Structure 1
Amino acid sequence: MEKWVVAAKKADFQGISNRFGVDPVIARLIRNREQITDEEIDTYLHGKLRNLHPWKALKGIDELLNILIEKIQQKKKIRIIGDYDIDGVCSTYILFQGLKKANALADVDIPDRMKDGYGISKELIERAYEKEIDTIITCDNGISAIEQIAYAKEKNMTVLVTDHHEIPYEEKEDGSIERFLPNADAIVNPKQEGCAYPFKEICGAMVAFKVVWGLFEKRNIPLSEIEELIPIAAIATVGDVMDLVDENRILVKEGLKRIQNTNNEGLKALIRVNNLENREITAYHIGFVLGPCINASGRLSTAKRALELLLSKDTKEASVLAEDLKELNDSRKDMTVKGVERAVEIIENTELKNDRVLVVYLPECHESLAGIIAGRIRERYTKPVFVLTKGEEGVKGSGRSIEAYHMFQEMVKCRELLTKFGGHPMAAGLSMEEENIEKFRRKLNENCTLTEEDMVEKIVIDVPMPMSYVTIPLIRQLGQLEPFGKGNTKPIFAQKDIRFSNCKVFGKNRNVVKMKAQDSFGFGAECIWFGDGDEFLERLKEKDVWDVIYYPSVNSFQGRESIEMIIQNIR
């Protein structure tokens, strides 16, 4: 079930249109994305690298850089400890490249997802200690490693933390909140109390990028050297699903401009094996093509392979590594499809289908795929989902939620059934004993206050706009709103009472339909639909007139440009 609603935000659209030289439709789209003041609109449309927030605004960064510079001068051994996901790999790469340019004696260690689990562990500290490492610097992790960092301090190591995750806290009986910070020598995290950084929602790689920027300024290294790190920070921002607003949007925009001309052999090879050479790479390609290849190494093998790819200087070696990652991702896709099929089968054939919160146990499933499978199941049922798998010790799992259900808070209410858990309103990770699965499922559902209305997917239409209004200049202006992604969604247009004719199915998988649309005023437009072509044609036989959600595009064929509407939904 879907509910279509129209965004009804008010503003002086004509005034915005006149001041910024954009169509009133574009003005409305900008307002729908919460850009309200002229300054915000100007940054949104024309933001450049100089509009990024200054690194100096991060609390603790001066302290961290001074320690780092002292260690570099004393020729002390520095180890970067990252994480196994895309943000962890990219932030590790950024710090490593930055430290090398500053002549540091630096090396890298990344935890193994299955063996070490998330972030810095005692084993990783032990390994560093045996190698006589003097200083550990974390990226994309460390803020919640209270015990582990205390252990490193017992061994007289210097520990620097760069992270972006929430600060761990405990709610007291009187309702007050106590926050805990590790006993590190310096901490840079925009979310720590008293940090004046104006934008808190940056990823780990962006924090690392700011640290390197500060390091280069203090060491008089030309800032042109930071240029090549921009695409990597952009990949992490999209891959870690950060909101594409404020400086994230500027950075991703600038990164996408540079990505096809990158000097990074590994990135070039990854673009090549995914057939994206000489094509305009968008945030979509990072999120759904390149990013999953980088993530697949941390899921099914070791994230060190993805880091190796980014560090590769040799075209041949980079090609081999990129092929490897693509193959890993392809097998990850196959395993995901099988996992989703099995989960649906369990839900449909048991009493689970009556639950408002789905808890599905897939003991055979690879633990690193639980989150992806949970996301697919959530899309299918519009319900919060936990997918559990059998781990080395007990059961591990991941959850994905819907807007109306705060997953982390609901897990807190079941904490006595869990051995470990963490997360956000929309996503979570957990561990528990196998015998508690059924109790967990029952308790979540007993506590659940979701209504039928909450579990209906809502599609928010930006502008109800007749297809006849669309021109090629308007489509070009839509390009100014990119990159699209979380927090800056692709605009949604709709029109009522459309008739379709001349439908033809194309593609070797019969997954493209081309047709003609005609509205009630007799205006005709060329349209295209992607998906199961035969199923779509069957559906069109049900009635003559449809409401349509569409997105306009320019079709270039033999040097001629024409408008083509991409049909995204009908009802």
Structure 2
Amino acid sequence: MAKWMVAAKRADFNQIAEKYQITPILARILRNRDIVGDEEIHRYLHGDIENLYDPLLLKDMSRAAEIILSKIQEEKPIRIIGDYDVDGICSTHILLTGIRALGGKVDTDIPHRIKDGYGLNESLIEAAAADGIDTIITCDNGIAAFSQIQMAKKMGMTVVITDHHEVPFEEKEGQRRYILPEADAVVDPKQPGCAYPFQQICGAVVAFKLIQVLFERNKPTQMEEGRYRNILDEILVFSALATVCDVMELRDENRIIVKKGLARMNNTSNIGLKALLMVNGLEDKALSPYHAGFIIGPCINATGRLDTAKRALSLFEADDWKEAVTIAGDLKNLNESRKQMTEDGVQKAIELVEREDIQDKILVVYLPECHESLAGIIAGRIREKYGKPTFVLTKGEEGIKGSGRSIEAYHMYEEMSACKELFTRFGGHKMAAGLSLPDEESAELFRKKLNESCKLTEEDFEEIVHIDVPMPLACADRNFINELSLLEPFGVGNPKPLFARKGISLLFGRKIGKNKNVGKYQIADEYNNRYDMIYFGDLIKFDAFLMGRFGRKPVERLYADGIPSGEITISMAYYPDLNSYGGRESIQIVMQHYC
């Protein structure tokens, strides 16, 4: 079972509550998230676009803007080279939109996941040279492309890197030496010497900030100022989408970008995005990170996985409604195919781990027949199931390719850097990485090396449930639930607050949903007040827990129609929500954990 820990950070919660007109419980939640001081609290509760950091704090930003503006004025051909995931596609669209608005002679290229692999490669450089390109701008890639950028420079091209990934390094005698590409300008918040206050922005946000600077420096007329403002509002939407889909932490300015960007998404003037919302039944809905990360994003990602990411970019560039709806429908269908292929891959990976009884702390699963583009998604699902850092390897056209997903205690990129001689190519960050290996023998060596050098302890694998406040269910009234919306948007780095209560009686239960995999219950607190509760977790595991503690008959009675069971009492970690059904709203308790 998971370990439950109640946050015990101290502050004068009543004073904070009075000052900001919130409840002491909300004040305590803010403190639990280390939101302290008047400026930070106000920014968290009421932050807006003007609270974003100055783009010029990014190292080399001024230089990058200067180069690009001069190339636009000289009418030199510029090529934007992006990547095949949501962040790369959105970054490309942002730069393309902004540079076109300034009159730049600009086009794009996005690598093919299987033929080209991640980021810049020699063939993309050669193609740019053959097309007479003067300047290459990378987005969401480039920081690790040392030799490729060297090649572009030898061919006489100007190169501007915009990226957000970790900078490659060499470690000798305990000293770390960072290896920066020899580009004309490098804009990456993670590079040494960058004074930007918040490193955890995605590639699309770096691109957005570059366009901000370009617009400001172009000395616009009043009419142009209005047009530029509208364009920035529009591309903020794509920055928000990329931030969620690249699983950036929803803290600091990321939270403002996502909050404001998603609020504007349904009013987008981008025909392609409108069509994508429509085919997914999301038009006119209040959009959340869930919609961005689990409905819209996967449709965009599916093109890079099973087709070519240029298809998704063409959706955002579409100016004809009929064409946009056709492409959006194709993307949705591709995503449906991807879902089934993913499920098949996950099942094969689970069978392999359990059949061979793999006890490694770092799981390396080889699925030769799996489509290489699905390795990262499958690795994430296996990581969730077993709670271990996981790599899924597949057979590529040349050698072995794979992706990894990590846990909080394991810095994946740094651990891979310690055995980088094994890879033909690799890159990533703390929580995720991609790699190429020459053959199957090196794949087994990779598994051994990672596990031999692994310093993870049993405590690192233990799931910890962080409770914000032990709170009676009676406190979860409509006013409090509405107040919780001040904390949105929720996601990585800004989770939904979690409350806990002992002595909760389960009275009635039924299983709902297409696969009967959701539990709906009526519960009672210690004062016999009744509430509706729902549980979206593993029902088989929950029922087994109940039977182990209370026996089979009480559990059978719990699910028997019309027979109230007062025999089952549990402790519960939960959050309260409003359930809308048939035009009516009611309070619903969402159980997250139990013991």
User: Shorter-chain TM-score: which interval?
Assistant: over 0.9
Aligned to 1:213: 212
Q: Distance in 2 between matches of 1:81 and 1:238?
A: 22
* Matched position secondary structure for 1:553: strand
Asked if structure 2 preserves the Cα contact closer than 8 Å seen for 1:383 and 1:402, the reply is yes
Does the aligned pair in 1 maintain the 2:87–2:204 contact within 8 Å?
Answer: yes
Q: 1:549 aligns with which of 564, 567, 573?
A: 573
Among 484, 493, 504, the residue aligned to 1:478 = 484
Cα distance in 1 for partners of 2:195, 2:373 equals 36
Q: Is the 8 A contact 2:165 2:429 kept in 1?
A: no
2:55 is the counterpart of 1:50: no
Distance change (3 Å), C-alpha of 1:143 and 1:416: closer
Counterpart pick for 2:445 among 420, 439, 442: 439
Q: Distance in 2 between matches of 1:85 and 1:240?
A: 8
TM-score normalised to the size of structure 2? 0.92
Distance in 2 between the 1:42 and 1:517 partners? 37
Pick aligned residue for 1:373 from 375, 378, 398:
378
Matched, 1:306 2:312: yes
- Supply the AA of the counterpart residue of 2:355: N
- Over aligned residues, Cα RMSD in angstroms? 1.8
SS at match of 1:392: coil
Which residue is equivalent to 2:188? Answer: 189
2:413 alignment partner AA? F
Give the aligned residue type for 2:390: V
Q: Is residue 518 of structure 1 aligned with residue 542 of structure 2?
A: no
Deviation at 1:533, TM superposition (A): 6.2
Name the structure 2 match of 1:420.
425
Give, in angstroms, the shift of residue 81 of structure 1: 0.8
Cα distance in 2 for partners of 1:408, 1:133 equals 33
> Superposition pairs for residues 49-128 of structure 1, below 5 Å?
49-128=49-128
Distance 1:19 1:49 in 2: 23
- Counterpart in 2 of 1:329? 335
Name which of structure 1's ranges 423-432 and 316-325 shifts more when overlaid on structure 2: 423-432
Matches within 5 A, 1:291-370: 291-352=297-358, 354-370=359-375
Q: CA deviation at 1:420?
A: 2.8
Q: 1:80: Cα distance to partner?
A: 0.7
> Cα distance, 1:504 vs. partner?
2.9
The answer (yes or no) to whether the contact 2:349–2:365 under 8 Å persists in 1 is yes
Q: Is the 8 A contact 1:510 1:534 kept in 2?
A: no
Name which of structure 1's ranges 380-389 and 501-510 shifts more when overlaid on structure 2: 501-510
Task: For residue 545 of structure 1, give the secondary structure of its aligned residue in structure 2.
Answer: strand
- TM normalised by structure 1 equals 0.96
**Distance in 2 of aligned mates of 1:211 and 1:397:** 32
Give secondary structure in 1 for the equivalent of 2:313. helix
Q: Separation in 2 of the partners of 1:405 and 1:63?
A: 36
For residues 120-519 of structure 1, what are the structure 2 equivalents within 5 Å?
120-173=120-173, 175-219=174-218, 220=220, 221-222=224-225, 223-352=229-358, 354-432=359-437, 433-519=439-525
> Which deviations, in whole Å up to 9, do the C-alpha atoms of 1:300-332 show, x marking residues without a partner?
111101111111111111111111111111111
Q: Deviations along 1:325-370, whole A, 9 cap, x unmatched?
A: 1111111111111111111111111141x22221111000111111
AA at the equivalent of 1:553: D
Give the residue type in structure 2 aligned to 1:405. Y
Q: How far has the Cα of 1:177 moved from its partner?
A: 2.2
Alpha-carbon distance in 2 for matches of 1:177, 1:413: 12
Name stretches of at least 5 consecutive residues in structure 1 with no aligned partner.
Answer: none
- More displaced, 464-473 or 195-204? 195-204
Give the superposition deviation at 1:279. Answer: 1.6
Q: Find the residue that maps to 1:263 and give its secondary structure.
A: coil
Equivalent-residue separation in structure 2 for 1:229 and 1:404 (angstroms): 35
- Range 398-407 or range 68-77, more displaced: 398-407
Q: 2: CA distance between counterparts of 1:112 and 1:172? A: 35
Residue by residue over 1:212-236, the C-alpha shift from the partner in whole angstroms, topping out at 9 and shown as x without a partner, is: 1111112213223311111111001
Number of residue pairs aligned between Structure 1 and Structure 2: 569
The CA deviation string for residues 183-228 of structure 1, in whole angstroms up to 9 with x for no partner, is 2222222222332222222111111111111111122132233111
- Structure 2 Cα separation of the partners of residues 116 and 350 of structure 1: 34
Q: Is the 8 A contact 1:510 1:532 kept in 2?
A: no
Q: Deviations over 1:267-293 (max 9, x none)?
A: 111111112122211011111111111
How far did 1:520 drift? 2.2
SS of 2:93's equivalent in the other structure is helix
**Compared CA separation, residues 448 and 162, structure 1 to 2 (3 A):** closer
Query: 1:505, 1:534 within 8 Å by CA — same for their partners in 2?
Result: no
What is the identity percentage for the equivalent residue pairs of Structure 1 and Structure 2?
55
- Change over 3 Å in CA distance of 1:417–1:131 after alignment to 2: closer
Shift of the 453–313 alpha-carbon distance from structure 1 to 2, 3 Å rule, reads same
